[in-house]
Structure 1
Amino acid sequence: MTEHGTPTASAPAAEAEGPPRSLWRDRDFMVFWAGEGLSLYGTQITQLALPLTAVLVFGVGAGELGMLRFAQLVPFLGLALLFGVWVDRVRKRPVMLGANLVRMVLIGLVPVLYEFGLLTLPTLYALALGIGVATVLFDVSWMSYVPVLVKDRRSLLEANTKLNATLSSADIAGPGLAGTLVSVFSAPFAMTANAFSYALSVVSLLLIRKPEPAPAVPEEKRRLRVELLEGLRWVFGNRWLRAMGLVGCSCNFLLTMVQTLFLLYAVRDKELSAAAVGFVMGAAAVGGLLGALMSGMVVRRLSVGTAYRVSVSVIFLGPLLIPAAGGPRWLLVGLFVASFFMEYVGASVSNVLIVSLRQTITPQHLMGRMTAAMRMLLYGGGALGGPVGGLLAALAGLHGALWIAGLLSAAMLVPIFLSPVGRLRAMPTGPEDEAFISR
């Protein structure tokens, strides 16, 4: 068994005959991509409008804002693995339909309750928690559904590149649009656009024609505990998955902390308007689109490991620019944009690599549980980042807490360069590739 390097196993015979078909000619993938893109645009609006509702309507502090973020992400800690087991047992598309219908209703309740004077901070927490539960279910399902929709695993890199490019374009347009909607209609009413986008996503899922095969029926009754342990053993027993998961957990922990603190720091300490905050995030997100467009070139010109090291390192260096920003308003805003620009461009390149690698080396019958375990790590870290950021702000102030978060983030360069993922030279051919078998 080799340590790393060029994969040793050959591709399955069905995939070896000629180059993979372009996904531009795959009607069902294009429909799925369009629907997912619309929901991503709407999600970007809520990501800014929901915390701004707490800040502008209820006047919350760093601790309360951190708890709101915790409510959105904590379902990944408690439910991701359970949902992963279930998703591996059933067809994914009906689950995705149900999850998006729930998100559409819960997000639509925010402006309705606000209009009738019934929206309270505890209600906002409860809605955020419900949205988080539905998001867990959808995320675990769609990442497991893409390898079903895209039959040829050689096309997964193309599929994830396209999906990531859409996410990046939503990152660019979403915050600026959200800031404008908040300024014109108020933060709660801005989320109406997100509810509408989920409705369109539901329609797109209904239009997919490709039948989804039912998972194989096991010969013996499966036990929940056994399946949970099987999924965990696959992720934590595979050193590439384990390394990516632990670095991703740290990344989300620190970036959620920074983003939570930044919102209050920008609005209260630096007196930026909602539109200005939206401009910062939207302008910075150009880096995400740039990263998505150049991810294919990066993978072709660099080894997989080198591309991983460089892109993830860029993410972790960005947060240092926020507490260092100062001077005239144009310089302050410029450094804020540069900080998040680095995060977006690094995340865009690394996400394509990481998701494609995870999907390629994982057998289909473990896909839901692998995705769930990884989401538990990634979003579990993010869930804890908000409350810890609020605690740091209480102890050291917003500016001091941002310096602490930035320095901790920069220190992550050490485990990144020690990661076995950084030594890979090429993408594997599939789960049968001996270089990537769990051990």
Structure 2
Amino acid sequence: MSEDSGRTESGTATAKGAEPPPPRSLWHNRDFMVFWVGEGLSLYGTQIANLALPLTAVLVFQVGPEELGLLRFAQLVPFLALALVFGVWVDRVRKRPVMLWANVVRMVLIGLVPLLYYAELLTLPMLYALAFGVGTAAVLFDVSWMSYVPVLVKDKRSLLEANTKLNATLSSADVAGPGIAGTLVTAFSAPAAMAANAFSYALSVISLLLVRAPEPDPPPRTEKRRLRAELAEGLRWVFGNRWLRAIGLVGCSCNFFLTMVQSLFLLYAVRDKELSAATIGFVMGAAAVGGLLGALISGMVVRRLSVGTAYRVSVSIIFLGPLLIPAAGGPSWLLVGLFVASFFLEYFGSSISNVIIVSLRQSITPQPLMGRMTAAMRMLLYGGGALGGPVGGVLAGVLGLHAALWVAGVLSAAMLVPIILSPVGKLRTMPTGPEELPA
């Protein structure tokens, strides 16, 4: 993805036209590697909770689709309600302490689920409250770590490598997490599986404490800024930039439909198709191999297809996957195979597109705006997911689970039109700054 040698403003050529040496591999960056381990441990635990938490509601409290949608809403609504405010605050402070305390809170709240269950004190409203608390801490962590990566990775040319490594870890957690969760739920109980999640957050806290790189304090403000003004500045940056705006709106729609489908799928698989927790864990784990494969080939895909083409193809694959779930039928091996194929497409497309999207966002956003940009994006992405759960529950209550899955699949496939028209699809290479974007 080299630029023309005469373009000094691109950062890929010096004033004399000589190519600068390539950045050193992040395998030699100790602090990034330690951070990567901490983030990986956190992701593994989160993937276990993503299956064990709703299964706790389904198997312990026998919830219906509306109640399960509300549980997902409680977990994701903090991104819609608090992400922007947290983004302003994160831009004012150092990020690592925020990440540490966010994971401490998640460790405690997740650990309360098995304790309350075995003490026979766990109730459904309490589960909603714990899900909301975990979601709130997740907002703080997510807004912080995405803003912290450019602090560890000084050379922006290394951001694609950094996000590829982080995304590979996410994909491997997607592969292992659901299978581990399904096994733990089957062997013990859904609440007991949450203890493994709490333990992973404890290990993540320890690894983050081992990062040595000093994080500079944010630059002092020459004048007092009001919260409203800083919120508006962050929103103007995201919605005023047509690349960020396109990424955010497509991502919001993506999470809306995928969360709707995933929430309905659990009930559909357990009640209509009578699949066990272990089988559901196998479906999600086997499908997540697509994410690992996507992470491994994402760099090659971008080099071969260009940034824009890779974005269009990978995101289109995500939106086509949900159609396979209501279409699945026949003998059990075929049913499970089609379920795996549906989520395989989702994980595969997400793994490639996430590397492109996060690298593009970090490349074109100034560091003083990084927290607010990330917060605005998380608000859009997880806000869509928060709404997808309850909307799916209402649809299932009116139409039934199978018909609601068909509606979600068809509407998801219709998103191919805005994807094809997206300006992101016209980018040939990854910019290293806002000045490199096309006019």
Q: Give the alignment's TM-score, normalised by structure 1.
A: 0.96
List alignment gaps of at least 5 residues for structure 2: 1-5
Match of 1:265 among 263, 268, 273: 268
Contact 1:249–1:381 (Cα < 8 Å) also in 2: yes
Pair 1:27–1:418, CA change in 2 (3 A):
same
Q: 1:293 is paired with a residue of what secondary structure?
A: helix
Tell me the equivalent position of 1:11: 11
Pair 1:8–1:241, CA change in 2 (3 A):
farther
List alignment gaps of at least 5 residues for structure 1: 1-5
Output aligned runs, 1:3-82, within 5 Å.
9-11=9-11, 17-82=20-85
2: CA distance between counterparts of 1:434 and 1:303? 14
Tell me the equivalent position of 1:107: 110
1: CA distance between counterparts of 2:61 and 2:8? 58
Contact 1:68–1:128 (Cα < 8 Å) also in 2: yes
2: CA distance between counterparts of 1:8 and 1:140? 33
1: CA distance between counterparts of 2:400 and 2:299? 42
Match of 2:88 among 85, 91, 109: 85
- How many angstroms does 1:303 deviate by? 1.1
**Any runs of at least 4 consecutive aligned residues in structure 1 with deviations exceeding 6 A, and if so which?**
12-16
Q: 1:342 is paired with a residue of what secondary structure?
A: helix
Tell me the equivalent position of 2:302: 299
Q: 1:9 is paired with a residue of what secondary structure?
A: helix
Q: 2:181 is paired with a residue of what secondary structure?
A: helix
The C-alpha deviation readout for 1:374-394, integer Å capped at 9, x for no partner, is 000000000000000000001
1: CA distance between counterparts of 2:8 and 2:54? 49
Q: Please state if 1:196 is matched with 2:196.
A: no
The C-alpha deviation readout for 1:260-280, integer Å capped at 9, x for no partner, is 000000000000000000000
Tell me the equivalent position of 1:404: 407
Pair 1:8–1:250, CA change in 2 (3 A):
farther
Q: Give the aligned length.
A: 431
Whichever residue aligns with residue 109 of structure 2, its letter is: L
Q: Give the alignment's TM-score, normalised by structure 2.
A: 0.96
Contact 1:144–1:368 (Cα < 8 Å) also in 2: yes
2: CA distance between counterparts of 1:130 and 1:237? 32
The C-alpha deviation readout for 1:372-429, integer Å capped at 9, x for no partner, is 0000000000000000000000111000000000000000000000100011111102
Tell me the equivalent position of 1:310: 313
- How many angstroms does 1:431 deviate by? 3.1
Match of 2:142 among 132, 139, 163: 139
Match of 2:240 among 224, 237, 240: 237
Contact 1:110–1:191 (Cα < 8 Å) also in 2: yes
- How many angstroms does 1:432 deviate by? 3.6
Contact 1:31–1:208 (Cα < 8 Å) also in 2: yes
2: CA distance between counterparts of 1:84 and 1:407? 35
Contact 2:431–2:437 (Cα < 8 Å) also in 1: no
2: CA distance between counterparts of 1:168 and 1:100? 20
Q: 1:435 is paired with a residue of what secondary structure?
A: coil
Contact 1:9–1:429 (Cα < 8 Å) also in 2: no
2: CA distance between counterparts of 1:431 and 1:59? 51
Q: 2:160 is paired with a residue of what secondary structure?
A: helix
1: CA distance between counterparts of 2:429 and 2:199? 41
Q: Sequence identity of aligned pairs in percent?
A: 82
Tell me the equivalent position of 2:156: 153
Match of 2:363 among 350, 355, 360: 360
Tell me the equivalent position of 1:393: 396
- How many angstroms does 1:218 deviate by? 1.0
2: CA distance between counterparts of 1:64 and 1:7? 57
RMSD: 1.5
2: CA distance between counterparts of 1:408 and 1:397? 17
1: CA distance between counterparts of 2:239 and 2:74? 26
Pair 1:11–1:49, CA change in 2 (3 A):
same
Pair 1:212–1:377, CA change in 2 (3 A):
same
Q: 2:122 is paired with a residue of what secondary structure?
A: coil
Q: Please state if 1:220 is matched with 2:219.
A: no
- How many angstroms does 1:39 deviate by? 1.1
Tell me the equivalent position of 1:275: 278
The C-alpha deviation readout for 1:133-170, integer Å capped at 9, x for no partner, is 00000000000000001111100000000000000000
Match of 1:130 among 122, 133, 140: 133
Whichever residue aligns with residue 73 of structure 2, its letter is: F
The C-alpha deviation readout for 1:4-50, integer Å capped at 9, x for no partner, is xx998322879973101100000000000011111111111100000
Contact 2:328–2:335 (Cα < 8 Å) also in 1: yes
2: CA distance between counterparts of 1:385 and 1:69? 9
Q: Which of 1 and 2 has higher RCO (CA within 8 Å, sep 6+)? A: 1
Tell me the equivalent position of 2:3: none
Pair 1:236–1:397, CA change in 2 (3 A):
same
Contact 1:7–1:433 (Cα < 8 Å) also in 2: no
Contact 2:159–2:359 (Cα < 8 Å) also in 1: yes
2: CA distance between counterparts of 1:382 and 1:434? 29
1: CA distance between counterparts of 2:19 and 2:254? 37
The C-alpha deviation readout for 1:192-245, integer Å capped at 9, x for no partner, is 001000001001110000000000011101111110000000000000000000
